[in-house]
A and B are shown apart, each in its own frame.
Chain A
Amino acid sequence: DSGVTQTPKHLITATGQRVTLRCSPRSGDLSVYWYQQSLDQGLQFLIQYYNGEERAKGNILERFSAQQFPDLHSELNLSSLELGDSALYFCASSVGSGQGLSSYGYTFGSGTRLTVV
């Protein structure tokens, strides 16, 4: 157990639907990062939150949004789902956002496998 918890582990949904993926960071970590892993695109950075505030944005579609709550857990919302959104979505956490990097860099959760049918 890495200490980063992602739920659900698997999700199957139809095109056009909306889903929410949840991430609880490792205790003491303030930063949460979301990544999408697909066969053709590899690991793509989506978005980062630090202590409740958006800190960096990557290749995140407008149909996707995220937030980090006061208890530091984060949710990634995916809407108007398309077949191409099928992927493994990872959450990672770290102590800080800037210079403060934990010994392990980032700690990753085990991911949520999203299948859009």
Chain B
Amino acid sequence: AQSVAQPEDQVNVAEGNPLTVKCTYSVSGNPYLFWYVQYPNRGLQFLLKYITGDNLVKGSYGFEAEFNKSQTSFHLKKPSALVSDSALYFCAVRVVHGSGNTGKLIFGQGTTLQVKP
């Protein structure tokens, strides 16, 4: 079965420190991987995606993610965290099976990032 796992319910970091939010996936076929962020009472906002190419993907607000096929991981990173980065982060995967692709995203359970001043 296709799935996405975010092993940490919450990640706490101090402002200015690097942050990592973990994501692993299990799919058949080639994965399209995404990170979204959700602020309170708001919809999900796109951060970045991996489709193909360079394993290090750069996205919005200084975030980046590293695709690791052997470890089936797509961890979200930022070199220096800001208090305003505090939010709920979702990893998602869409599987491409050629003509069988439906376009739906499978989301992880989400990780709450808390950045303290």
Contacts and interface: CB of A to CB of B under 8 A. Distances in A.
B46 A98 contact: no
A92 B102 CA distance: 14
Contacts of A97: 101-103
Dominant SS at the A interface? strand
Given A4-B43, A42-B109, A43-B90, A105 B104 contact: no
Given A2-B43, A43-B110, A110-B42, A105 B105 contact: yes
Interface string A41-83: 0110100101000011010000000000000000000000000
B110 A108 contact: no
B103 A108 contact: no
B43 A99 contact: no
A109 interface: yes
B101 A99 contact: yes
A72 B39 CA distance: 27
A90 B43 contact: yes
Interface of A: 2, 4, 31, 33, 35, 42-43, 45, 48, 50, 55-56, 58, 90, 92, 94, 96-99, 101, 104-111
